[in-house]
Structures are given as C-alpha cells and as structure tokens.
Amino acid sequence: MKTIMKHSKRNSAYALVLAMVAALVLTLLGAGLLHICYGVRIRAAQIKRQTISMLAAEAGYETGIFWMSRQPDVLSGLADSDSGSSGTLVFENSRCNYEVQFYDFIGMRPVFRIVSTGYSGSASRVVDVLVVQKIGGWDMGACRIPYSESSTSPVYFTDTEVVDIKVHINDLRDSPDGRDIYTLGTPQFLQEVEMGESRYAGSTDKYGAIMGYFEGGISFDQPDVKITDEVAVQSKVDRFRASTKPSFVFTPVGTAAVPNPNSAVQLEFFVDSGTGMVRATNNCTVQGYQRAISWDYRIVPGSGGENFMKYDIYAYHYRPDVQVPLTFAIEDTYVTQTFADKESEPGGQIFVDGNIVIGSADYENMVVKGKLTIVATGNIWIADSVVVDGPHHGLTGLPHKNNQNVLGLIAQGVIKVIDPGISSYPVGGINNYPGPAQPSVPDMLVEGTHSYVPVGNGTGTDRYLPDPTVVEAALTVGGGGWGAENVMRGSHGGRKEASGVQDELILVGAISESVRGAVGLFGLDGYAKYYTVDNRLLEGVLPGNIWFGGKYVPAPAGWHDYRLENSPD
C-alpha cells in the first residue's frame, strides 16, 4: 500500500508539472497570438491611415488640377497670391495641404508642379506631380457657324471625310440637350475626340448610334478650351506683347481715302542665303467689303460669344508711297519668356495692334525659316500659300519631326484666306467681278500718295491663289473662325478658283477657333479641305506660350508619391 501511494503521489506531481507546462505553453501561445493579432490590427490601422492620407493627398492634387482648368491664364493666376492656387482641405478623418507652383520650361512649354500632402492621424503621404497643358489638334468653342447677328447653324462632318486630327468641342450647353458634334453619313475620326458635354441627356444615350465613327476613341465631360474666354485670350496677348521686342511691335495707321478702310501690316516671308527673312510694310490700308448675304461674321467683342457682326472682308490694299518696307531676319525677333526667374528657349515674336495681310505677288517666296509666332489684335488675312522651310516627309508631305521651323498665327479677330477675285482688275478699267468697284489706273493712287499692292498669283485680270493653297501653321482664332472669305451663299457669284469648281485647301498644323468658319460648299464653291495635325506642335514648340487648352495632364515621368521622412508609419 505504501508503495502504491508513493507512486500515486509521484504521478500526481508529474501531472501537475505537465499541466503547468501546458498552461505555460498555452499562455505563451495565446500571448503570441494576441501580440500577432494586435500587430496585425496596428498594421491594418497604419495601412488604413496611409491609404486615407494618400487619398487625401490625391484629393488635393485633383483640386489643384481643377483650379488650373478654371484659370483664364495659369501664370497670371500664380502671380496673384489670392487666386486660390494653394489651400487646405479637411475631411472627416483626414486633411491635406496643396499648392500649385510654376516649375520650369521644357523648351518653350511651361511646366507646373502640384505638391499635395495628405494626413490621417500620424500617417502622411505626399503627391508631387509635374503637369503640362494638353495641346490639341483642332479645338472648337462650338461646331457651328454664324449666319446672322444672333444665329448659328451646325457644321456637319460628312461621310466623305476622314478626320485624321485630334478634335475637341466645348460644351454648347444647349437646351434641349443634343449632340454638340454634327454628322451626315458615316465620317471617320481616326484620332481621339474630346467632348465637353456628357454622353447622356438624362437617361438618353445621345452618342450610342454613332460610336462606331470614332476609331480613335471619344472622351466626354472634358474641360472647355479657353479660346472662347476673352479674358484668357487678352491675358496671354498682353503678356506676349510685353515680351516682344519693341522694334517688332507694329501699330499700323491706314491713311488711304478708300471706303471701309482697315489699317494693316503686310508681311512677306522668304529665305535669303539660308536665313529666314520677313519683309514688313506698315501703315497699309485694306479696302473692306461686305456682301449682303454671306457667312463672313465675327464675334462681337465683349458679347461672350453670343452675338456676331459682319466684318469687312479683304478686297485689296494700298501702301503709302513714303513707307519703306522693313526687312529683317526672323532670328532678330527672338526673345525668351521669363517667369519666376526661369527662361524658355528663344523664339521669334511679332505683335501687330491691328490687322495683318500675309501674302506677296510672288507666292513661291512665302517660306518661313525659324521659329515664329505672330499675334494680331485684329484679323489675319492669308493671301498666299505659307509653308515652313526644312525637311518634309516624302510620302505624307508633313514637316519632319526634327524640322526646327514652325509658324504660329494668333488673331483676336478672324484668320481667313482671302478671295483673290475681289482684287482682280483690268488695267484702265474697273473690277466687274462680284465685289467692290475698284478705281481705274492710275486713279487708284490716292492723290499720288498711295500705291495699290497686288497679292496672290497672276497679273492683270488673272489674279488667284495657288491650287492647292497650303498653310503650314498653328492657327488660333479668338474672334471667330478659320476659313475662306466670300464663299457662295445664295444665288450670287462666289469665290474665284484657280481651277475647277473648288480648289484644295491643305492645312498642316493645328486649329483653335471660337466658332467654325466657312471653307467651302461641297461641289459648289470655296475649298475642299484637307487637314492634318503637325505632331511637333503637340509638344509645345511654338514661342510665346499662346495655347488655350483647359486640360492639364502629368508630364512624362512627372508623377511621384511618397511618405514624409519623419512619418512614424
């Protein structure tokens, strides 16, 4: 019995030890599991705070982008400390501080920086992004053409058109809400199309039936291009003038005693011994002309694009006999844009407070060599083919990507190709072509003080523009549209063509216009148009920072996000 009891006590002791060991192991295991669970919860909370702080930082970035898209001019907005370029956003469980800054120039293109820091508890994240203004190919304030003081009509893309250029159309804000792009048949858009409006009007899909036309894709609800914003246009024009050399700022005064006088500068481009040259004749007088029924309208300044007026189209022009043309190299006009102690690459700038006539009787010399932007507060009349010098692709005819020659034309009025028929005249007689009656020679001299200046090709009664008429330039039209003057409307005679019913108008470049302008009537009059985007322009190679896109996108490799170095998370 004693032996049995001794073994029993010993077994109980072993059991107690095992129980204690088991309890200890389970306690340690439980503590470990609790620690792991606590660590997981802490880590989950950290990740949650980091995620929330990142979302807050991105909200600050989006606010900065939204602020930029609403500015008439971002550089002017940044110069105003009260403009709202920086601020704080407070959310339920987070906050952020953001700021829009000017960063630098890439070539001639401004680069902006948005820095946004998000906070959630002890966590913080930073979004630091370099952004640039998105440059389009063909931007329209409205895809409509004015035909009276207060009325516009749609301009249709037809099934004969293959549109190989990026297109943006602002929101028309019409009621009832219809499509802001107009089609007949099955046109094809090979590149991206952006619409300011939504795809839907309530529950109605406005675009469902035509989505197959957009081979390059279509995006909706995009920011409006600022070409219709007169404050935005004026702001950039003012800065352009301030940065232009005074010797290349012209304020023409027309003194010829003619009906409907319009003062202008005549510009002629040519290349002399490998140097790009400009011949400028100041103080010209353009005889204007208005046909009773036409599409030759421009926006009434200060009307917000709601009202239109018929403007004086180009008939012909005179120069004062005492006016000696100024001839200079395009490189003489080169300046740099400067902002926040940063300078852009140099480029040429010419400013005209008035109208411009671009053309010569010898159109073969209308060649631009150099980088040049020209701004007119009035109209720009194109009276010849205008091309850039340098290598072009043999198959497409487009300027080679390494071609350094480029031309930009900006008008606060309209940019139009003239009708050369109005300027035709027989020696010793008057012009019997539809248009204003021109005095006979030599009576066309105004008291012997002004001389008639022919433009276009040909002599005597046979004056016309080349077919095709080629324009290689970026066109920005603040007061109306790009197109051709005196296109037939109704039963009267229309434009004078060099051959056939319609000449060809070839544009290689980009267009930004407040409304559409008449180019031609299919198979009847005017031009058959062929537009191709010059991809070099999309990189911002033009001098003067004169683009009006409302959308800002990250520059290549421009997005960075990270934690703050002292963040405990």
pLDDT per position as a tens digit, 469-500: 999 999 999 999 999 999 987 766 678 888 77
Supply the range of the domain harboring residue 184: 136-223
The residue-averaged pLDDT of 290-313 equals 92
Residue 363 has pLDDT above 60, yes or no: no
351 burial (CB, 10 Å; 0-12 / 13-18 / 19+) is buried
CA distance 158 to 188: 9
Check pLDDT > 90 for residue 215.
yes
pLDDT at position 291 is 84
Cβ–Cβ under 8 Å, residues 394 and 359: no
pLDDT of residue 454: 83
Burial of 451 (0-12, 13-18, 19+ CB in 10 A): middle
Q: Are residues 381 and 521 both part of a single domain?
A: yes
Average pLDDT (542-548) is: 91
Query: What distance in Å separates the CA atoms of residue 309 and residue 465, rounded to the nearest whole number?
Result: 27
161 and 64 share one domain:
no
pLDDT bracket for residue 424 (50, 70, 90):
low
Query: What was the pLDDT predicted at 496?
Result: 82
> Which secondary-structure segment (H or E) carries 216?
none
Res. 509: pLDDT tops 50: yes
Between 156-165, 257-266, 426-435, 511-520, the lowest mean confidence (pLDDT) is in 426-435
pLDDT surpassing 80 at residue 196? yes
Considering the domain architecture, whether residues 18 and 109 belong to the same structural domain is answered as yes
**118-135 residue pLDDT tens:** 999 889 999 999 999 999
pLDDT of residue 9 exceeding 80, the answer is no
Residue 428: pLDDT band with limits 50, 70, 90: very low
Instruction: State the DSSP H helix or E strand holding residue 78, giving kind and residue range, or none if neither.
Output: helix 74-79
For β-strands 355-358 and 261-272, DSSP reports them as: parallel
Same domain, residue pair 531 and 458: yes
Q: How far apart, in whole angstroms, are the C-alpha atoms of residue 96 and residue 118?
A: 4
- Provide the phi-psi class of 458: left if phi over 0, else alpha when psi is between -120 and 50, else beta: left
pLDDT at 111: 96
Query: Do residues 398 and 392 lie in contact, with contact meaning Cβ atoms separated by under 8 Å?
Result: yes
Residue 388 located in a structural domain: yes
pLDDT band at 432 (very low <50, low <70, confident <90, very high): very low
Final residue in a domain of this structure, among 223, 245, 278 = 223
Write down the pLDDT at residue 19: 72
Confidence bin at 521 (pLDDT 50/70/90)? confident
Q: Is there a single domain that holds both residue 211 and residue 232?
A: no
32 and 81, same domain (yes or no): yes
Whole-angstrom distance, CA of residue 505 vs CA of residue 532: 11
Are 235 and 197 members of one domain? Answer: no
Taking residues 136-148, report their average pLDDT: 94
Average of per-residue pLDDT across 351-366: 86
Residues 352 and 327 in one domain: yes
386 neighbors 280 (Cβ within 8 angstroms)? no
Q: Is the pLDDT of residue 232 over 80?
A: yes
Q: Is residue 569 part of a domain?
A: no
pLDDT 10s digits, 49-68: 889 999 999 999 999 999 99
Q: Domain check: are 213 and 244 in the same one?
A: no
Cis preceding linkage at 442, omega within 30: yes
What pLDDT is stored for residue 443 in this prediction?
42
What average pLDDT does range 521-535 have in this prediction? 86
Question: Residue 429 above 50 pLDDT?
Answer: no
Q: Is residue 345 part of a domain?
A: yes
Amino acid at 106: I
Residues 361 and 233 grouped into a single domain: yes
Q: What are the phi and psi torsion angles at 288 (to 5°)?
A: -90, 160
Q: Which of 182-196, 224-238, 324-338, 522-536 has the lowest mean pLDDT?
A: 522-536
Q: What band does 439 get if pLDDT is binned at 50, 70 and 90?
A: very low
Residue 546 lies in a domain: no
398 and 495 within one domain: yes
Give pLDDT, residue 314: 93
Domain-located, residue 568: no
Is residue 560 very low, low, confident or very high in pLDDT (cuts 50, 70, 90)? very high
- Residue linked to tokens 């619409």: 195
Is the pLDDT reported for residue 7 higher than 90?
no
Three-state SS annotation for 412-427: CCCEEECCHHHHCCCC
DSSP 159: T
Last residue of a domain, one of 199, 223, 247: 223
Q: What is the mean pLDDT of the chain?
A: 87
User: In this predicted structure, what is the pLDDT of residue 41?
Assistant: 63
Total domain count for the chain? 3
Percentage, residues of the chain above pLDDT 90:
62
Q: What pLDDT is stored for residue 273 in this prediction?
A: 94
Query: Which of 197, 223, 249 is the endpoint of a domain?
Result: 223
Q: How confident is the model at residue 430 (pLDDT cuts 50, 70, 90)?
A: very low
Give me the percent of the chain exceeding a pLDDT of 70.
87
Q: Is residue 45 over pLDDT 80?
A: no
Shared-domain flag, residues 117 and 201: no
337 vs 330, residue with greater confidence = 330
Q: Is the pLDDT of residue 534 over 50?
A: yes
Report which of 136, 145, 110 is spatially closest to residue 511, judged by C-alpha positions. 136
